[in-house]
Amino acid sequence: MNENNQKLDFVRQIVADDCQSGKWDGRVVTRFPPEPNGYLHIGHAKSICLNFGIAKEFGGKCHLRFDDTNPEKEEQEYVDSIKEDVRWLGWDWGDNLFFASDYFQQMYDWAIDLIKKGKAYVCDLTGEEIRQTRGTPTQAGNDSPYRNRSVEENLDLFERMKNGEFPDGSKTLRAKIDMASPNFNLRDPIMYRIVHATHHRTGDKWCIYPMYDWAHGLEDSVEKITHSICTLEFENHRPLYDWFLDQLGIYHPQQIEFARLNLTYTVMSKRKLLKLVQEKYVSGWDDPRMPTISGMRRRGFSPEAIRNFCEKISVNKFNSTVDFALLQHCLREELNKSSARVMAVLNPVKVVIDNYPQDQVEYLDAINNPEDPAAGTRQIPFSREIYIERDDFMEDAPKKFFRLTPGREVRLRYAYFITCTSIVKDSAGNITEIHCTYDPATKGGDAPDGRKVKSTLHWVCAKNALDAEARMYDHLFTKENLDDVAEGKYFTEYLNPNSLTTLSNCKVEPYLKEAKVLSRWQFERMGYFCVDTDSKDGKLIFNRTATLRDEWAKIQQTGK
């Protein structure tokens, strides 16, 4: 049980048991090991919250380790963004920032150890030949013709590989395990390949680079990790992880696998996200439609909402796809508590209140956040001309339309009751002005005679309104599950052409003049919005973070 008396997930249970039994002398050291070849996404957030969360709950440490063993795809830009995102999510690695590339010499020395033990050899087969000789699930692979090179020859060739004597791809170092193993990963896996490429940290010092399976356990060992938590795809790599550490006889952490996060209506592979960026399907890694942490931040997600989501989905051993609506539900729950309410008209039409004094401006009290009394109140200006939402008026209204229509009285939020008396149209028949009268006795929004109105509209004072742009988002893809994209189709064929709609003629209340970039607001009746990073020089741009309607609550109620 945890502090909230909830059952521990299976990973935390293992850690708790180990602490109890004293397996690691009470130490808990986890790590989050991203490869700096892209920006972090919501799937990474699951792993981050798990690893940093465990360290925090069990009084241990979590290392941030860059798994930078692949110089061709890695860049400093990614290192910087990853650090920023982990910090923004609310986690702190303290002094424990590491780079796999710092261990290249140690890894090389350990490779020499294995060669000396007769457990590794230099192989001259090409990558393609190695693949072809690996066998099939039902058939053993073939031994490489170079498998029985002498230790001396292997040492000599490996050193010359390191010294740059051979071209890319001409040789590899392979572990000598078992070409007939039912586990493919044990069929003499590659430990090193030759890549003459400049590394973002080690420059041209190395031209041989370690493969993931060889490197990862060593990195964990050097850092004295206790629980090496990874995703399920690595379950059948665990025997190899264990084999390398056992052969070397070095410190040996425990690898534990959990199911990765998949979300509906989006992709999570960095390769696919990179394609969206490079081919300009989106504006960048931080496009608010992206499932990246930076995209979600720009969209208006709060770190709390993401952490709550990760807690809610928990961790288990079975791959599944989480409904995007659950993520939005966690977001709304948090934003409802934390974001201030303001009024903004996204698609405005002017209302003229004919019996309101020409030049008068009065200030009305409005509550900033009914969920949070400490947020206080503000004053909003009201005058003869205001804007309301075009959709809140209908000339020929059907029975069930309760908002403004000729002859109907409605409430203006925090202001007065108004009654529509007439409309003005342009030559094309578009409504340009709605004329109303107001009842001064209803100030604040209640009639002293107790009469009721059926709807309350939000509005903005025309004289003081600020111009703004609102970017309205929908799912990036039209397909719910992108993992089962039909053969011959490519995931980009399912991009949603309507994932972004820009409303450029919005009117917002003057209180938003000082709104900071990335600040989050609830526009009354219209949804949650966040000030975009493109907002500057008095030009206000908002991203719609989420609508107010909770799809997840609906799914829970109706069961579909």
Which residues of this chain interact with Mg ion, rule CB under 5 A? 35
Q: Please tell me the distance from the alpha carbon of residue 227 to that of residue 52, in angstroms, as a whole number.
A: 12
Count the Cβ atoms, other than its own, within 10 Å of residue 491.
16
Q: Minimum Å distance from CB 35 to ligand ATP?
A: 4
Q: Hey, what amino acid is at 145?
A: P
x/- site string to ligand ATP, residues 247 to 276, per CB under 6 A?
Answer: -------------xx------xxx------
Q: Please tell me the distance from the alpha carbon of residue 145 to that of residue 129, in angstroms, as a whole number.
A: 11
Name which of Mg ion, ligand ATP, none residue 75 binds, using a CB cut-off of 5 to 8 Å depending on partner kind. none
Q: Please tell me the distance from the alpha carbon of residue 213 to that of residue 271, in angstroms, as a whole number.
A: 20
Q: Minimum Å distance from CB 215 to Mg ion?
A: 11
Name which of Mg ion, ligand ATP, none residue 268 binds, using a CB cut-off of 5 to 8 Å depending on partner kind. ligand ATP
Q: Minimum Å distance from CB 462 to ligand ATP?
A: 48
Ranked by CB distance to ligand ATP, the top (closest) residue is 43
> C-alpha angle with apex 87: 81 to 91, nearest 5 degrees?
140
Give the one residue of 30, 47, 226, 499 binding ligand ATP; rule: CB under 6 A. 47
Q: Which of 526, 482, 491 is nearest to 324 (CA)?
A: 482
Name which of Mg ion, ligand ATP, none residue 508 binds, using a CB cut-off of 5 to 8 Å depending on partner kind. none
Name which of ligand ATP, Mg ion, none residue 44 binds, using a CB cut-off of 5 to 8 Å depending on partner kind. ligand ATP
> C-alpha angle with apex 463: 462 to 469, nearest 5 degrees?
55
Give the one residue of 33, 53, 303, 348 binding ligand ATP; rule: CB under 6 A. 33
Of 49 and 420, the one with the shorter C-beta distance to ligand ATP is 49
Question: If phi over 0 gives left and psi between -120 and 50 gives alpha, with beta otherwise, what is residue 48?
Answer: alpha
Q: Minimum Å distance from CB 282 to ligand ATP?
A: 16
Residue with tokens 């399907």: 281
Name which of Mg ion, ligand ATP, none residue 43 binds, using a CB cut-off of 5 to 8 Å depending on partner kind. ligand ATP
Of 66 and 414, the one with the shorter C-beta distance to Mg ion is 66
Pairing of strands 466-473, 540-546: parallel
Name which of Mg ion, ligand ATP, none residue 458 binds, using a CB cut-off of 5 to 8 Å depending on partner kind. none
Q: Minimum Å distance from CB 6 to ligand ATP?
A: 20
CB 52 within 8 A of CB 238: no
Token pair recorded at residue 123: 């192989």
Q: Minimum Å distance from CB 216 to Mg ion?
A: 9
Count the Cβ atoms, other than its own, within 10 Å of residue 6.
10
CB 161 within 8 A of CB 171: yes
Count the Cβ atoms, other than its own, within 10 Å of residue 249.
9
Of 44 and 176, the one with the shorter C-beta distance to Mg ion is 44
Token pair recorded at residue 279: 């081919």
Chain centre to alpha carbon of residue 369: 27
Which positions from 165 through 224 interact with ligand ATP, judged by CB under 6 A?
A: none
| Dihedral angle, C-alpha 224, 229, 234, 240, nearest 10 ° | 20
Pairing of strands 61-66, 97-99: parallel
Tell me, by CB under 6 A, how many residues bind ligand ATP: 14
Token pair recorded at residue 202: 């080690």
Of 215 and 342, the one with the shorter C-beta distance to Mg ion is 215
Token pair recorded at residue 305: 């909402």
Residue 231 pairs in a beta bridge with 258
Q: Verify binding: residue 35, ligand ATP, rule CB under 6 A.
A: yes
Token pair recorded at residue 42: 């919501």
Identify the DSSP state of 450. Answer: -
Give the one residue of 111, 215, 230, 331 binding ligand ATP; rule: CB under 6 A. 230
Of 230 and 468, the one with the shorter C-beta distance to ligand ATP is 230
CB 411 within 8 A of CB 405: no
CB 509 within 8 A of CB 461: yes
Of 35 and 153, the one with the shorter C-beta distance to ligand ATP is 35
Q: Minimum Å distance from CB 317 to Mg ion?
A: 19
Which residues are part of the catalytic machinery?
A: 35, 260, 270
Name which of Mg ion, ligand ATP, none residue 230 binds, using a CB cut-off of 5 to 8 Å depending on partner kind. ligand ATP
At 519, phi and psi to the nearest 5? -75, 150
Choices 43-51, 198-206, 409-417, 549-557 (CB under 6 A): range interacting with ligand ATP: 43-51
Of 46 and 341, the one with the shorter C-beta distance to Mg ion is 46
Give the one residue of 44, 176, 458, 507 binding ligand ATP; rule: CB under 6 A. 44
Token pair recorded at residue 442: 């209803």
Name which of ligand ATP, Mg ion, none residue 270 binds, using a CB cut-off of 5 to 8 Å depending on partner kind. ligand ATP
Of 81 and 535, the one with the shorter C-beta distance to ligand ATP is 81
Q: Verify binding: residue 43, ligand ATP, rule CB under 6 A.
A: yes
Maximum distance among all alpha carbons in the chain?
A: 102
Q: What does the binding site for ligand ATP look like in residue numbers (CB under 6 A)?
A: 33-35, 43-44, 46-47, 230-231, 260-261, 268-270
